[in-house]
C-alpha cells in the first residue's frame, strides 16, 4: 500500500521570522546596553582607538567580511551550500554590528559613523524584507492573472527583436550557453566585462518590456538592490576607514595619542 518515493535532500532549515526578530532585538539591546553603560566603563572600553576597541573593530570587520564572502560564494558556486552561507551572513552580520558599535564607542559625530548607519540600514532592510516583504512576495502568486489574458502586441515584436540580439551576443559571450537559461555569472563579468555588461543591459531591457518589476510594489521590487547598494557602500567605507586609520593615523588622531596599529612612514 505504501508508495515508494525518491526523497530530495532536505533544505537547510531557515532561521525563521521569530528567531530573526529575536536576534535583531538582542543585537539592539546589546548596542543599547553598551551605550547606557558607556560612561561607567573603564577608559579602555570607551575611548576609540584604544587597543581593546581597536581589536574589537578588527574582529567586527572580519565578521562583516562573511556577508561579503556569502555574496561571492553565492555567485561563484564555491564554498558549499548558499543557504548555509546565508545563515552565516545573518549571524556574523549581527555580531559584527555589536562589535563595530563597541569599536565606535558611541562617537556618532565623526565620519565613520556614516558606515555604522549604512550597517544599520543593511540590517533594517534585510530584516524588513525577511519578515514583511516576504508576505508580499508570497501574495504575488496568482496576482498577475492579466498576463494570461494579454494578447501579443507590438511589445511582443520588440521582445522578439531583443531576443535575437541577446542570442547573437551570447554566441560571443559564452558559446555553449543557451539564451533560455543563461544569465552572466561572476566569471563572465570577470572574463568578459564589456560583453557581460552589454548582455545584462539587454536582459534589463527585456525585463522592462515584460514589466514585472515596475508592476511590483516598490519595496518588493527594490529592497534587494537597496540592500546590495548599502552593502557596497559599507564595504567601500570600511576599506576607506582601514586605509585612513592605517596610513593616515595622524590625521585621524587629530593631535591625540595614536594607540592603534598603524603605518607612520610609507
Cβ proximity to other proteins: between 149 and 251 the closer is: 149
Instruction: Round to whole Å and give the CA distance between 108 and 162.
Output: 50
For the window 127-166, what string marks contact with other proteins as x by the rule CB under 8 A? --xx--xxxxxxxxxxxxxxxxxxxxx-xx--xx--x---
For the window 218-247, what string marks contact with other proteins as x by the rule CB under 8 A? --xx--x-----------------------
Q: Which stretch binds other proteins (CB under 8 A): 59-67, 114-122, 173-181, 243-251?
A: 173-181
Question: What minimum distance in Å lies between the beta carbon of 190 and other proteins?
Answer: 12
Q: Which stretch binds other proteins (CB under 8 A): 1-9, 22-30, 46-54, 256-264?
A: 1-9
**Which of 45, 54, 128, 182 is close enough to bind other proteins by CB under 8 A?**
182
Question: What minimum distance in Å lies between the beta carbon of 69 and other proteins?
Answer: 14
CA torsion sign for 190, 192, 194, 197 is negative
* Count of residues in contact with other proteins, rule CB under 8 A: 71
Cβ proximity to other proteins: between 148 and 266 the closer is: 148
Question: What minimum distance in Å lies between the beta carbon of 103 and other proteins?
Answer: 29
Q: Which three cell numbers stand for residue 153?
A: 502586441
Question: What minimum distance in Å lies between the beta carbon of 91 and other proteins?
Answer: 14
Examine residue 203 and tell whether it contacts other proteins (CB under 8 A). Answer: yes
Residues between 71 and 100 with contacts to other proteins, criterion CB under 8 A: 74-77, 81-83, 85-86
Cβ proximity to other proteins: between 149 and 266 the closer is: 149
With vertex at residue 112, the alpha carbon angle to CA 85 and CA 33, rounded to the nearest 5 degrees, is: 75
Cβ proximity to other proteins: between 165 and 220 the closer is: 220
User: Considering only CA atoms, which of 99, 80, 71, 77 is closest in space to residue 230?
Assistant: 71
Q: Which stretch binds other proteins (CB under 8 A): 10-18, 105-113, 115-123, 246-254?
A: 10-18
Amino acid at each position: 500500500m505504501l508508495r515508494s518515493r525518491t526523497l530530495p535532500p532536505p533544505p537547510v532549515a531557515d532561521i525563521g521570522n521569530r528567531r530573526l526578530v529575536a536576534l535583531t532585538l538582542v543585537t539592539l539591546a546589546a548596542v543599547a546596553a553598551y551605550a547606557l553603560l558607556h560612561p561607567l566603563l573603564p577608559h579602555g572600553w570607551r575611548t576609540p582607538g584604544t587597543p581593546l576597541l581597536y581589536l574589537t573593530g578588527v574582529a567586527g570587520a572580519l565578521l562583516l567580511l562573511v556577508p561579503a564572502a556569502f555574496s561571492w560564494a553565492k555567485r561563484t558556486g564555491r564554498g558549499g551550500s548558499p543557504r548555509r552561507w546565508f545563515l552565516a551572513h545573518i549571524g556574523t552580520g549581527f555580531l559584527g554590528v555589536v562589535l563595530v558599535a563597541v569599536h565606535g564607542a558611541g562617537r556618532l559625530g565623526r565620519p565613520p559613523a556614516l558606515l555604522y548607519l549604512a550597517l544599520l540600514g543593511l540590517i533594517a532592510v534585510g530584516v524588513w524584507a525577511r519578515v514583511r516583504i516576504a508576505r508580499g512576495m508570497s501574495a504575488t502568486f496568482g496576482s498577475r492573472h492579466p498576463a494570461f489574458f494579454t494578447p501579443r502586441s507590438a511589445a511582443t515584436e520588440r521582445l522578439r527583436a531583443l531576443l535575437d540580439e541577446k542570442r547573437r551576443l551570447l554566441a560571443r559571450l559564452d558559446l555553449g550557453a543557451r539564451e533560455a537559461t543563461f544569465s552572466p555569472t561572476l566569471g563572465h563579468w570577470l572574463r568578459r566585462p564589456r560583453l557581460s555588461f552589454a548582455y545584462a543591459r539587454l536582459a534589463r531591457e527585456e525585463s522592462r518590456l515584460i514589466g514585472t518589476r515596475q508592476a511590483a510594489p516598490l519595496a518588493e521590487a527594490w529592497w534587494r538592490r537597496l540592500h546590495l547598494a548599502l552593502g557596497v557602500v559599507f564595504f567601500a567605507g570600511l576599506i576607506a576607514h582601514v586605509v585612513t586609520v592605517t596610513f593616515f593615523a595622524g590625521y585621524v588622531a587629530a593631535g591625540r595619542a595614536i594607540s592603534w596599529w598603524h603605518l607612520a612612514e610609507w
